[in-house]
Amino acid sequence: PRSSTLYGFAENGWLLRTTNNGRSWSLVTTSPTVREFIISAGNPRILYGSTAGDCDAPSTPGGALLRSENGGQKWIPLPGAVNLRPLLTSPADPATVLATDCTSFYLSRDGGQTWSASLAAPGDPLPATLLLQAAMIGDDLLWPAGVTERWALPVLEVDSVLNRAGLPPDLQIDGLNSLAYGEDGVLYLATDQGLLSRKVDEPAWRFVPDQGLRRRNTQNVLLTASHPHQLWVNTEAGVYRLFLAD
C-alpha cells in the first residue's frame, strides 16, 4: 500500500485498522465478512476480498468477490465475479484489478464491475503458490511463482522470473507464503521456515540474518510507501518490524 494505513486481525478475530503505520489501532468490526483481502493502491479504504475457498481445496464451494469502500465495514458482491480471488490492484491505475479462479487470471479495468480472462495458467488447478501476494516493482508485477518457470502476463506488460535457488530443499511450494519488494532493491520472501531475501539480480535466496526469524513460520511480509524502510513480518509468534538499510 502507498499509505500509512494497515489492517490486521486480532486473536479474537476482530478486524483492526491503523492510519499511522502501526502506532495506534482502531476497531473496524467484530465480525468481518472476509478473512483475506487486498488494499487498493489508490485508496486504503477500498478493499477487495473473497468468500471463495482455497485453490488447494477443490471440494470447497465457490464464493463471491467482494468490494468494500469504507475500510471493511460493509462489503458488496461484484457482478460476474463468482469464484474469483483478488490478487492486486495496479499502482499506475488503481481501477485495474487482477484476480484468479485458480485456473485462469482475470482482469478488470473498472474497479471490479466487469471482468475478462487475461491469461490461462498451466495446469489445473492453479498451484497454491501462485496465489502468493504479488510484489510490485515500480508499476510492474513480479510474480512470485516460486518455481523456475517463466511467467508472463502480457496484458500487464510483465515478464519476470523467480527461482528456487537457495531455498531449503525440504521447503514445499505451498510453504512460500508472501513476497514484498523494498526500495533497497531487495525481495523479501515469507516462508514456513523463515524469512529469506535476495536482490532481483542475485542468483539465490538467503535467510535474513538472525532477527529471531530463522526457522520460524512467517506468513506475511509488508512494506508501505509511507515508511519504505520498515518491513512488517507476521509470524506464528506475533508481528515483527524490521528496519532496513537506507
Q: Which of residues 51 and 211 earns the better pLDDT score?
A: 51
Residue of 93 and 195 predicted with greater confidence: 195
Q: Is the pLDDT of residue 29 over 90?
A: yes
For residues 98-127, average pLDDT: 72
- pLDDT the model gives residue 241: 84
Model pTM score:
0.68
pLDDT band at residue 196 under the 50/70/90 scheme: confident
Least Cα distance to 91 among 129, 132, 134, 49 occurs for 134
- Exposed/middle/buried for residue 177 (C-beta within 10 Å: 0-12, 13-18, 19+): buried
Average pLDDT taken over every residue of the chain: 75
Q: What is the pLDDT of residue 17?
A: 95
Of 126 and 234, the structure prediction assigns the larger pLDDT to: 234
The β-bridge partners of 117 are 106
User: Per residue in 136-188, pLDDT tens?
Assistant: 444 444 444 333 333 444 434 333 444 567 777 777 666 777 777 776 778 78
Sheet hosting strand 230-235, strand order edge to edge: 218-222, 230-235, 238-243
Which of 70-74, 94-98, 222-226 is predicted with the least confidence, judged by mean pLDDT?
A: 222-226
Taking residues 73-81, report their average pLDDT. 93
